A and B are shown apart, each in its own frame.
Chain A
């Protein structure tokens, strides 16, 4: 395979084509589509974490003027497929976690629905629940496999032997907290059922995935189900897999046929059942020889899942091949609790796992007496040790070197707690990151000539803020050898050809490849001067090179941290990120993806933590006042660049996907900088002031 010749559009820093609509607020998100005479849904959620709904008295609610229906397991539609216990709601009186949907009120206004929900009286047969996560439980189990199908445990060589004979060893445990994705736009549906046809305006990362799931669960013919997702206010993984809110909306639409049902989660409800990142407890053991070459790497992970449905985050996955070591082992153990189901959150696996690994590497570098960059360079592998394959391209060292120069790493005194500016202790830190080039199956693109040299390019992809509207337009323009102004891109609708979800940083790879293939077929069939209406369609071609090469993006992350000696407050005035991601489709939107990921990594290091009270089983800090994400004042100078990387194997565009690489190395870089500033090694995220007070 070779990559396309550099065209005119790909690579250019074009403004987002939907920009004017976004800055005027006219771009329609799910809730904002014009529908006639909508009704409003407010959910009923369980107050207990385990047991049964004993009795529901909806009489007061039903008696309220404007209330149309109160739905519960007593009268909800029976689902055709109930195997997915997260989604098969209202099929029994069973309660499996606190906050689970146990019903819904449908009313003429949002205010009436909300009030009526308060009037529904529910009593429970409560059972003793167990929501206390911890690494010392005696019921931890080994899942059959991890998320994305990765093997649970791996073992190469003799880790214990290598550790016992190593010149330098490290044995530390790192923890990351429960986290919630919290896109700015809550999960939202408008569901409209009329004469056997269902229309869903949905805030989702995958319109076709929603259609597939809803069709299966309700026993519907897919052709009678349309899902529209033109503009989505972020997802970060939480809208990648359909959640119970969608099922609830469709149920209500079925019950109140003929009226569109509007259901947007409150921010508080965003902490109940739309997925989250599991907390992790990660024990990392490293062994190295006297020259700082790693001889053993061991990464043992404990995390949680829901009792009703398993999700096993692939936390130690990156450790399997990040550095050159002969003796490696990784394990994952789960605690199944009476809690809601974890799901994808930006860089599942890599985000928490590389925090621990890269913090450990920093500690190990210190122990070996080596500069942390040199230590990593010394352990740069030739091949992907886990698969034995060569990398299609791996330029981590180049990223580290370039970053060091841009950031001003040279001459850094590694001694911690030696730099002061007024009351601020100042430190710097570095970390590496990697993210695989995923390919999700099931994307097709259709191209149609519209006459006058214009082309419609259709694919059911969704732009959740990634810039897909623009990037795919650029790819289409170059593929058809026309200007971007001659492309009419249509995405976000199941009436368009099927597309995989916007997840795993895979969008451009699979959607872009499908468009290129469709363009190739189009030209082959219709030539350079097509007639109006000429069409061609194609799916993402297989890439046999995936058998021959390990394909990953890489990044180097540099952070300056300041810690107030009196208070422990941490500020990060600057971050530098240097990335090796193949060809960048749009330089402007790519930078945004990188700064977004890096800031989310900063957030992971310093701010985010969902506090689950095991006595009750739900998250206490369920709003934006108490669940902290960075404000504008928390973010300083963000220096971002990428190196020229020509990878002819990954896909025809030569691109690697950039949505998640930004977060992967950032938390460790921040933690390492805080250590350098203070001499205090905090191994439990988030690093809040209380952990730095002396």
Chain B
């Protein structure tokens, strides 16, 4: 870890301005991902701008009936928030399935969204990685890739995004509010994270200096019938093999609306739009849920070690939708 400066920003504009002037500066919030990576030597900022308590630290009501989650809200507070638990349970469940109690107390909404991949080759500065050093090669494609992507990967990178919270937010159609050197913008969450393509070094569509200030949840009633199911290799404190966030709106035994997002399968949380289309207007039931899942997974391209993710994702999508349909 090379030496670096540390400043605590006084306001958002100041933080953004500081970063805009310092191409090798980074925002520090909870630090649960950034400090981890700095110790590994994977990221080496020369200046940390502390924004941990800078942005909104609450969950607020929005005029349209939705909710605004401050970027500075710790993961544990967000998971425990009564409005979230009642109206967007998939988000609470996703947070509670992630990390550990201690980490959730430190980690923030903003930081969780921007956490980096857990690919072992990326984290190890002695193995070639296009994300770390474009052009150096991808060690995972021909190596150990059990935890890597089956959808949306490229010849440059097969890494997955590790956040549980982000998967739930994608299923819930959230918006991410950011402030940057060129002003503020409101990004549909599906457009925040990228697929690797030819630029695996870019995880998000954020420009340097853009600071996440809050996340908005839409006022959709049926999102209260949502859940998050995470499959891991041990009972707790582990990243997902595959996860599903889903919300289901059923009327008279027919799917009126549905949202599905997958974790552990791609460079970004994977919005299962094909499955959603296949389900809208169809009767509920295991057979239809399974067919929809299979449609979504048709384009899956398994690697040597992760073919199991295809039946696993299919099963978890099916099971999660079944559980949601039985609750109504």
Contact = CB atoms under 8 A, between A and B. Distances in A.
Interface in B105-132: 118, 120-121, 124, 126-127
Given A118-B2, A566-B315, A626-B118, A633 B233 contact: no
Interface SS of chain B: loop
Given A567-B312, A631-B238, 10 more contacts: A47-B126, A118-B1, A566-B315, A567-B231, A567-B316, A568-B312, A621-B120, A625-B238, A633-B234, A689-B312
A681 interface: no
A688 B235 CA distance: 12
Contacts of B127: 613, 616, 620
Contacts of B8: none
Interface string B19-45: 000000000000000000000010000
Contacts of B319: 423, 566
Contacts of A606: 234
Interface in B241-271: 241
Interface string A215-232: 000000000000000000
25 contacts: A118-B1, A423-B319, A566-B316, A566-B318, A568-B308, A568-B312, A571-B235, A606-B234, A607-B234, A611-B120, A613-B144, A615-B142, A618-B126, A620-B144, A622-B124, A626-B120, A630-B234, A631-B238, A632-B236, A633-B235, A633-B236, A634-B236, A689-B233, A690-B146, A690-B312
B14 interface: no
Q: Which of A566, A633, A693 has the most chain B CB atoms closer than 10 A to its own CB?
A: A566
Given A633-B236, A690-B146, A115 B1 contact: yes
Contacts of A111: 1
A628 B238 contact: yes
A115 B41 CA distance: 9
B159 to A, nearest CB: 14
B143 interface: yes
B5 interface: no
Please classify how large the interface on chain B is, using the bins under 10, 10 to 19, 20 to 34, 35 or more: 20 to 34
A628 B233 contact: yes
Interface in A158-180: none
B183 interface: no
B3 A631 contact: no
Given A114-B1, A613-B144, A628 B241 contact: no
Contacts of B135: none
Of the candidates B146, B235, B239, B311, the one having the most CB atoms from chain A within 10 angstroms of its own CB is B235
Contact of B234 (A118, A618, A622, A631): A631
B311 A694 contact: yes
Contact of A693 (B3, B41, B139, B312): B312
Interface string A585-619: 00000000000000000000011000101011010
Per DSSP, chain A at the interface is loop
A607 B231 CA distance: 14
Nearest to B308: A690
Contacts of A694: 311
- Sorted nearest first, the 7 A-B pairs with minimum C-beta distance are A690-B308, A633-B235, A633-B236, A566-B315, A620-B120, A634-B235, A631-B236
Contacts of A621: 120
Nearest to B127: A616
Interface residues of A, number: 34
A118 B2 CA distance: 9
A540 B3 CA distance: 55
A645 interface: no
A95 B142 CA distance: 26
B237 interface: yes
B317 to A, nearest CB: 10
A566 B322 CA distance: 12
A631 B231 CA distance: 15
Nearest to A636: B235
Contacts of B232: 569
Given A423-B319, A689-B241, A118 B41 contact: yes
Interface string B304-328: 0000100110011011000000000
B55 to A, nearest CB: 28
Contacts of A631: 234-238
Interface string A124-145: 0000000000000000000000
Nearest to A569: B231
A631 B139 CA distance: 30
Nearest to A612: B144
B312 A628 contact: no
A620 B124 contact: yes
A690 B127 CA distance: 26
A395 B49 CA distance: 66
B234 A628 contact: yes
B235 A607 contact: no
Contacts of A611: 120, 144
Contacts of B241: 689-690
Among B121, B233, B312, residue most surrounded by chain A Cβ atoms (within 10 Å): B233
A83 B231 CA distance: 49
B121 A620 contact: yes
